[in-house]
Structure 1
């Protein structure tokens, strides 16, 4: 009788013990993470993360966070997965990084007035002309932007906001000349805001570094990230990642 009771208790406890739920950050950032008409979190990063984690037997609990807060939560272990992160030495202290996910270029976008005034071709030209630049708080934009920050006077003049929406509105109102943003994200957001004729991409590619999924070292073992990479590799072989990208491709001019 006692053996039967013990077996019953073990069977009851196993689902809870084997349950795998991972918290994943999202924020309105099309085409990478966004809400669909049904109120579900979807997008390139969202669909890739959900599918890979499901293949590992895990469910996803989405947490909406601005970027700077998400980094803090990841470091503290209160967030498991942060999609779309660049692998940087200061982040490797507290995060594991997956293999690269599909790359999206960061470009410098500028108002039509700024484009007409300055035919800019390089980031290091911005301080010379007094270009009023806007960026998101604690977002990494690659080596060209890091070099720009070495000009301390110009670095202090850069406007930092938690959301791109604020930055686009500041460009539209004439308070900024331009913004650094993902090529695909900007195409979608500017079209939605009806600013795509007033704010355009410059010829300056700020970065084309590969973004990755970051995992909190406080919450996730390195072996978990290795299994995630195996799921990503299988999805690539199946052509699934390419199909997900095509599903959310921004409209072309």
Structure 2
């Protein structure tokens, strides 16, 4: 009987060791400063997620692919989780969302000192707004045909047009905008300012494929580890390493 118990215990420990030895494939697209293989830690969001998974006893490998491929790969089982997903009912059908570990705040920018203001959606009808072609900001804004939207190829172009007076507003996630204003747009940074009212706020989650046999445990482990990182200062320190303010 003791021999059988010893064998059962060995098998259990071996199974646990194999589970812990698994390398999770976490996918993301290029979205600086959140996810980008050219940045330290593969970006702010990637470093936060990797640190939380490591704290929870999991190993992770970062894979950078276009967004559509990341979603398709999660459904097909090619990837175990997506680093940076907004909630949608469709995605919840094939993936389990963590609690949000970041908040994306979409803010408008104007030329410093201008009288441009945003208190309600109707205010926006008076202004020309640089928007990134093909980008979704918020459904009611995206679908409002009354607005004078000027399509641009990227936030950097919109910000330069704003500084030159060719448009009256542009908009972007606050941390994305701060990232570019601190780097390639540093020459016009002092000419622009954020409006305080966000157009939208969206929680950023990891999305774990439901076909993973331990998807519930992975999400629970991640949420606990992220909370402990907030409490001991690790969370804030990662923001500081990326030169960004922690919430």
> TM (normalized to structure 1)?
0.69
CA distance in 2 between partners of 1:171 and 1:121 (Å) = 21
Q: Report the secondary structure of 1:105's partner residue.
A: strand
Cα offsets for 1:35-73 (capped at 9, x unmatched): 56xx75344322221122223433222122344543343
For residues 179 and 19 of structure 1, do their structure 2 counterparts lie closer, same or farther at Cα, with a shift above 3 Å needed? farther
Structure 2 residue 209 is matched with structure 1 residue 236: no
Distance 1:79 1:155 in 2: 39
Aligned partners of 2:141 and 2:64: how far apart in 1?
A: 31
> Is the contact made by 1:106 and 1:180 (CA closer than 8 Å) also made in structure 2?
yes
Alpha-carbon RMSD: 3.6
Whether the 8 Å CA contact 1:100–1:212 is kept in 2: the answer is yes
Contact kept, 8 Å, 1:131 with 1:177, in 2: the verdict is: yes
CA contact (8 A) 2:53 2:221 kept: no
Of 140, 161, 170 in structure 2, the residue corresponding to residue 147 of structure 1 is 140
CA shift digits 1:92-138 (9 cap, x unpaired)? 2222111121434221224x39x847434334433x23633414756
The answer for the alignment partner of 1:4 in structure 2 is none
Match of 1:23 among 17, 22, 25: 25
Kept in 2, the 8 Å contact 1:172–1:198? The answer is: no
Name stretches of at least 5 consecutive residues in structure 2 with no aligned partner: 1-10
Q: Distance in 2 between matches of 1:65 and 1:240?
A: 28
| Counterpart secondary structure, 1:192 | coil
How many residues get paired? 225
Matched-pair contact (CA < 8 Å) for 2:131–2:150: yes
Q: Is the 8 A contact 1:77 1:218 kept in 2?
A: yes
Matches within 5 A, 1:1-253: 19-24=21-26, 25=28, 27-30=30-33, 32-35=34-37, 40-110=40-110, 112=111, 116=114, 118-126=116-124, 128-129=125-126, 131-135=128-132, 137=134, 139=136, 141=137, 145-151=138-144, 153-154=145-146, 159=151, 166-173=154-161, 178-194=169-185, 195-219=188-212, 221-250=215-244
Could you say which residue in structure 1 is the equivalent of 2:8? none
- Give the Cα separation in 2 of the matches to 1:155 and 1:231: 43
Higher relative contact order at CA 8 Å, sep ≥6: structure 1 or structure 2? 1
- What is the deviation of 1:186? 0.8
> TM-score, normalised to structure 2's length?
0.70
Q: Is the 8 A contact 1:26 1:34 kept in 2?
A: yes
